[in-house]
Amino acid sequence: MVLVSLALALPLSSAFAAGAGGVAWADQRTVQGLTSGAISISEVGGFGYGVNGNGQRTGGFGYALYSPEGTSSLAGGVGGVIFGQEGHTGPLTFAVNLWTGLGGLSAGLAGAQTGYAILFGEANFELGVNVTPWMQLSAYVGMQGLADINARSGIGTRLATYSPVVGMRLAWGSFNAKW
Protein backbone atom coordinates (compact mmCIF):
# COMPACT_ATOMS: atom_id res chain seq x y z
CA MET A 1 0.00 0.00 0.00
CA VAL A 2 2.81 2.41 0.89
CA LEU A 3 4.69 1.65 -2.36
CA VAL A 4 1.54 2.19 -4.44
CA SER A 5 0.88 5.51 -2.67
CA LEU A 6 4.48 6.64 -3.31
CA ALA A 7 4.27 5.64 -6.96
CA LEU A 8 1.03 7.58 -7.40
CA ALA A 9 2.45 10.65 -5.60
CA LEU A 10 5.68 10.70 -7.65
CA PRO A 11 4.26 12.92 -10.44
CA LEU A 12 3.34 15.52 -7.81
CA SER A 13 7.05 16.08 -7.09
CA SER A 14 7.40 17.83 -10.46
CA ALA A 15 4.98 20.52 -9.27
CA PHE A 16 7.70 21.72 -6.86
CA ALA A 17 10.55 21.56 -9.38
CA ALA A 18 12.44 24.64 -10.55
CA GLY A 19 14.28 25.26 -13.76
CA ALA A 20 14.20 27.27 -16.93
CA GLY A 21 14.91 27.38 -20.61
CA GLY A 22 15.38 30.22 -23.03
CA VAL A 23 17.62 32.15 -25.36
CA ALA A 24 21.06 33.67 -24.82
CA TRP A 25 23.41 36.15 -26.48
CA ALA A 26 27.07 36.70 -25.57
CA ASP A 27 30.13 38.51 -26.85
CA GLN A 28 33.79 38.09 -25.99
CA ARG A 29 35.58 41.23 -24.79
CA THR A 30 39.24 42.09 -25.26
CA VAL A 31 40.85 42.91 -21.90
CA GLN A 32 44.60 43.46 -21.67
CA GLY A 33 46.17 40.55 -19.79
CA LEU A 34 42.98 38.43 -19.80
CA THR A 35 42.62 37.81 -23.55
CA SER A 36 44.65 35.47 -25.70
CA GLY A 37 44.49 34.65 -29.39
CA ALA A 38 43.61 36.74 -32.40
CA ILE A 39 39.93 35.87 -32.77
CA SER A 40 36.81 37.39 -31.28
CA ILE A 41 33.61 35.38 -30.94
CA SER A 42 29.94 36.25 -30.51
CA GLU A 43 27.29 33.62 -29.88
CA VAL A 44 23.55 33.16 -29.82
CA GLY A 45 21.60 30.08 -28.84
CA GLY A 46 19.27 28.26 -26.51
CA PHE A 47 19.54 26.48 -23.19
CA GLY A 48 17.54 24.58 -20.61
CA TYR A 49 18.23 23.36 -17.08
CA GLY A 50 16.56 21.85 -14.06
CA VAL A 51 17.23 22.89 -10.48
CA ASN A 52 17.09 20.48 -7.56
CA GLY A 53 16.06 21.31 -3.98
CA ASN A 54 19.61 22.36 -3.09
CA GLY A 55 19.84 24.92 -5.91
CA GLN A 56 22.06 22.82 -8.17
CA ARG A 57 21.56 23.39 -11.90
CA THR A 58 21.97 20.66 -14.51
CA GLY A 59 21.07 21.08 -18.17
CA GLY A 60 22.21 21.61 -21.72
CA PHE A 61 22.81 24.30 -24.34
CA GLY A 62 23.42 24.86 -28.03
CA TYR A 63 25.19 27.94 -29.42
CA ALA A 64 25.85 29.26 -32.90
CA LEU A 65 29.28 30.92 -32.98
CA TYR A 66 30.10 33.76 -35.35
CA SER A 67 32.55 36.60 -35.78
CA PRO A 68 31.48 40.16 -34.97
CA GLU A 69 31.53 42.66 -37.84
CA GLY A 70 34.99 43.80 -38.88
CA THR A 71 36.89 40.77 -37.53
CA SER A 72 38.15 37.51 -39.02
CA SER A 73 35.55 35.31 -40.67
CA LEU A 74 34.36 32.69 -38.24
CA ALA A 75 31.31 30.43 -38.09
CA GLY A 76 30.43 27.31 -36.17
CA GLY A 77 28.45 25.78 -33.37
CA VAL A 78 28.83 24.09 -30.02
CA GLY A 79 26.58 22.06 -27.75
CA GLY A 80 27.11 20.78 -24.26
CA VAL A 81 26.12 20.59 -20.61
CA ILE A 82 25.45 23.14 -17.88
CA PHE A 83 26.39 22.69 -14.23
CA GLY A 84 25.80 25.39 -11.64
CA GLN A 85 24.62 26.55 -8.28
CA GLU A 86 21.92 29.18 -7.78
CA GLY A 87 20.38 31.13 -4.94
CA HIS A 88 17.47 33.56 -4.53
CA THR A 89 16.74 36.74 -2.67
CA GLY A 90 13.42 38.38 -3.42
CA PRO A 91 12.96 38.73 -7.18
CA LEU A 92 16.71 38.22 -7.82
CA THR A 93 18.44 35.00 -8.79
CA PHE A 94 22.22 34.69 -8.66
CA ALA A 95 24.18 31.74 -10.00
CA VAL A 96 27.66 30.46 -10.71
CA ASN A 97 27.72 28.27 -13.84
CA LEU A 98 30.07 26.07 -15.84
CA TRP A 99 29.12 25.46 -19.51
CA THR A 100 31.23 22.83 -21.29
CA GLY A 101 30.82 21.29 -24.72
CA LEU A 102 32.06 20.13 -28.09
CA GLY A 103 31.52 21.58 -31.53
CA GLY A 104 32.95 22.66 -34.83
CA LEU A 105 34.36 25.92 -36.11
CA SER A 106 35.48 27.31 -39.44
CA ALA A 107 37.88 30.22 -39.01
CA GLY A 108 39.83 32.41 -41.41
CA LEU A 109 43.19 32.56 -39.67
CA ALA A 110 46.59 33.31 -41.23
CA GLY A 111 44.98 33.95 -44.62
CA ALA A 112 43.32 30.54 -44.93
CA GLN A 113 39.87 29.23 -43.97
CA THR A 114 40.33 26.15 -41.77
CA GLY A 115 37.90 23.83 -40.00
CA TYR A 116 38.36 22.71 -36.41
CA ALA A 117 36.74 20.31 -34.00
CA ILE A 118 36.62 22.30 -30.77
CA LEU A 119 36.40 21.91 -27.02
CA PHE A 120 34.42 24.76 -25.39
CA GLY A 121 34.29 25.96 -21.80
CA GLU A 122 32.83 28.93 -19.96
CA ALA A 123 32.66 29.80 -16.27
CA ASN A 124 30.32 32.67 -15.44
CA PHE A 125 28.47 34.57 -12.75
CA GLU A 126 24.83 35.35 -13.53
CA LEU A 127 22.40 37.82 -11.97
CA GLY A 128 18.74 37.57 -12.98
CA VAL A 129 15.63 39.53 -12.16
CA ASN A 130 12.10 38.15 -12.41
CA VAL A 131 10.05 40.07 -14.97
CA THR A 132 7.08 37.85 -14.08
CA PRO A 133 6.89 34.70 -11.89
CA TRP A 134 7.57 32.65 -15.06
CA MET A 135 10.00 34.92 -17.02
CA GLN A 136 13.45 36.18 -16.08
CA LEU A 137 16.04 38.50 -17.65
CA SER A 138 19.66 37.80 -16.68
CA ALA A 139 23.04 39.37 -17.32
CA TYR A 140 26.29 37.50 -16.87
CA VAL A 141 30.05 37.91 -16.96
CA GLY A 142 32.67 35.21 -17.11
CA MET A 143 35.67 33.68 -18.79
CA GLN A 144 35.34 31.65 -21.98
CA GLY A 145 37.84 29.48 -23.79
CA LEU A 146 38.03 27.12 -26.71
CA ALA A 147 40.67 24.89 -28.22
CA ASP A 148 40.92 22.62 -31.22
CA ILE A 149 40.79 18.85 -30.77
CA ASN A 150 43.07 16.85 -33.04
CA ALA A 151 43.49 13.06 -32.77
CA ARG A 152 47.12 13.25 -33.92
CA SER A 153 48.47 16.34 -32.20
CA GLY A 154 46.22 16.72 -29.13
CA ILE A 155 44.24 19.63 -27.73
CA GLY A 156 44.97 23.27 -28.49
CA THR A 157 47.80 22.76 -30.95
CA ARG A 158 46.34 24.82 -33.84
CA LEU A 159 43.74 26.99 -32.10
CA ALA A 160 43.51 27.96 -28.44
CA THR A 161 41.92 31.13 -27.13
CA TYR A 162 40.39 32.51 -23.97
CA SER A 163 38.71 35.80 -23.23
CA PRO A 164 36.28 37.50 -20.86
CA VAL A 165 32.66 37.21 -21.98
CA VAL A 166 29.50 39.23 -21.25
CA GLY A 167 25.98 38.23 -22.15
CA MET A 168 22.24 38.30 -21.59
CA ARG A 169 19.69 35.52 -21.14
CA LEU A 170 15.92 35.56 -21.37
CA ALA A 171 14.44 32.52 -19.66
CA TRP A 172 11.00 31.06 -19.07
CA GLY A 173 10.40 28.66 -16.22
CA SER A 174 9.92 28.49 -12.47
CA PHE A 175 11.74 31.15 -10.46
CA ASN A 176 9.97 30.96 -7.10
CA ALA A 177 12.24 28.35 -5.53
CA LYS A 178 12.89 28.60 -1.80
CA TRP A 179 16.12 26.90 -0.78
Per-residue pLDDT of the chain (179 residues; tens, 9 = 90+): 655 554 555 444 444 567 899 999 998 887 777 777 667 788 999 999 999 888 999 999 999 998 876 556 788 999 999 999 999 888 899 999 999 999 998 876 656 677 889 999 999 999 999 998 889 999 999 999 988 888 777 776 777 788 999 999 999 988 765 54
- Residue at 38 is within a domain: yes
- Residue at 164 is within a domain: yes
- Residue at 126 is within a domain: yes
- Residue 138's domain is classified under what CATH number? 2.40.160.20
CA nearest to 40, candidates 25, 54, 30, 31: 30
- Residue at 98 is within a domain: yes
List b or e across 49-71, with b for residues whose CB sees 16 or more CB atoms inside 10 angstroms.
Answer: bbbeeebebebebebebbbeeee
- Residue at 14 is within a domain: no
Structurally, the chain folds into a number of domains equal to 1
Residue type, 25: W
CA nearest to 64, candidates 75, 72, 74, 73: 75
Q: Say how many Å lie between the first and final Cα of the chain, rounded.
A: 31
Query: Can you give the residue range of the structural domain that contains 35?
Result: 19-174
Could you tell me the pTM of the whole model?
0.81
